Chains A and B, each alone.
Chain A
């Protein structure tokens, strides 16, 4: 039997509130399945299990706030004997309660509802209207079912229609921005206190990227088009494989490089919030896949649906200000990471190429590095490598 515990979703998290179970005793779960939703300072986070098996028992009631590490449920691994079948073992101590009745033939997979990518609001609406999720075509990233999809599907309201309050549709994501600000302040204050930052900047000619993107996107429908941000993330992910001292965690007075490359993507939350969940294994993903995952990640983050692992394991962060705003951004490292890359907006500049001046598209890329791990020399090589990779977008 394995205990499923309240995970730590960042150095600053001490406790979380269990707000929803997506499984019940008897359900089977796979590694990576979302089993519960936990409310934290960073919003409602979907918590995955890393233990496949059958849910044996739920240990924590809804809406209870418990410290990190508290067992939330018991999961019986596949093949592990059910307690009821363990008759030949020594008699249980007299105080032990009789084993709970085992649920009737369990479905072989998690409930269908959990298998669909769907926002909580859309799920609620579908439940209210009695709509089978498998009958709805999702138009969101990765086929995710959005609120609008459920609305369009219509369906007969299950009960004498209590019309859905129009205000509900306009309700912003259930993110507590004040709590998020507190979490950002705590992490950034710790970073400035503990991490001796150094800063470098490099101007990168992204004209080749723009031409390549224009040509590629011309033949693609909007839901498959790429943004230059996806190219930059891939370039960073490939560059850290060559410069692993920028990818990993500084813990207990030493640097632990990470073999996996999980790029934290800084995402602005409407109304004033910021979070940087991980785009897992970004170095392994082809660009179209990377773009689809980035779209999905941004959409879920803004809807308040990040997964636990995405919050806890970014190995380096990329922060991009997009097409508006300013030309350069100097990031503050998110501990326990050791580097953050900043991207300003792309600007047209006169540039010298082969002795002649011509207009080029230029982006200023910065690196904030941790002097406990690297110095400016290594940082310069790392930034230059990213710039070089962006000259050949077809190889990203």
Chain B
């Protein structure tokens, strides 16, 4: 039973790896967008960091003060009672007069009128609530449509290819100014790569901008080696595939390629369909 389960897991894993291999191949077959060479450095590249939001930086106390004022600013209009429409007050008075007049024409119907008036008011309230529900629904639909039309996520997958050196047990990967994730290099991954497969080691949503990712490897003793710095420009709205050839890691010129599998709304807000 145990062996059968392990065998099933292995088969599933291999299927996934083969599928990933297919994805990578499709990306490579995708003409101009496929397989851009990625720059890899052993020293962290220096990027320029132009200043942003300088006015806010210089005037944050003022703006924050204004926002604080918003919380405590008294509003003269709040809580003041509005004039009641005198016609509303008259209805009660009229009905009371009718009811109090013995033998007056229509006085016997006063209770019925009151009942009908009540029913009409209830109906009106019900119609109002239906209108409000329809408006809320329309707003929700508009928001969903806008969200659907403009939301194009940018993701990055790290794909491994080639044989993993035996003295490596895990890799660490992430944006250089973000969080690094430790990914163990499992036996199933190793055997699949040995057979020429491709393994997805990491996948996250990323910002569509020029940025540096850092990759390092850990040995079985837990020591992390010198990092590799990969300069990437993930394409907006695309599933970006970073394919790393592990076989070249030991060389002086390790290679990696960046492909874009799905180019959704790369420029502007073209709808995702």
Q: Do A and B come from one complex?
A: no
